Amino acid sequence: MPIAKFIPLPPQAGERRRLFGRFGQLDVYIFDPYTIALSKIARGFEADIEDVVFLLRSGVIEFSELERLFGAILPKAPQADIDRKEFRTYFEEVRRRVARGQAEGYMSHGE
């Protein structure tokens, strides 16, 4: 099922795909990591929150851009049956863990 059924796509989502690898003549891409992270935040499971923190810690995504895109899709969240209050709560949990990671020296790339 397309990810757009679960979460509103942030602006330019299709432009942020990442090449995973080339297999013969087939190029395989990973869809926008920010959309993936936002969908995990929207779902809010503990493992999903940890996945997002991992993406941030490993430098795959940057918190400032994640926050910008979160703000862009938040008004559209109810269209995807996402409770805005819960979505914000889960996002704030990511923020807390990122801040804790920074304090403990885990974050890279200035995040």
What pLDDT is recorded for position 52? 98
Question: What contacts 39, CB < 8 A, 6 or more positions away?
Answer: 3, 6, 7
Euclidean distance between CA atoms 77 and 42, whole angstroms: 9
Which tens digit of pLDDT belongs to each residue from 40-95? 999 999 999 999 999 999 999 999 999 999 999 999 999 999 999 999 999 999 99
Contacts 24+ apart (CB under 8 A), 99-108: 101/53, 101/56, 101/57, 106/57, 107/56, 107/57, 108/57, 108/58, 108/59
CB–CB of 107/59 below 8 Å?
A: no
Euclidean distance between CA atoms 95 and 97, whole angstroms: 5
- Residue 35 above 60 pLDDT? yes
- Residue 109 above 70 pLDDT? no
Q: Which sequence spans correspond to the domains of the chain?
A: 3-103
- Residue 111 above 80 pLDDT? no
- Residue 103 above 80 pLDDT? no
Euclidean distance between CA atoms 53 and 75, whole angstroms: 23
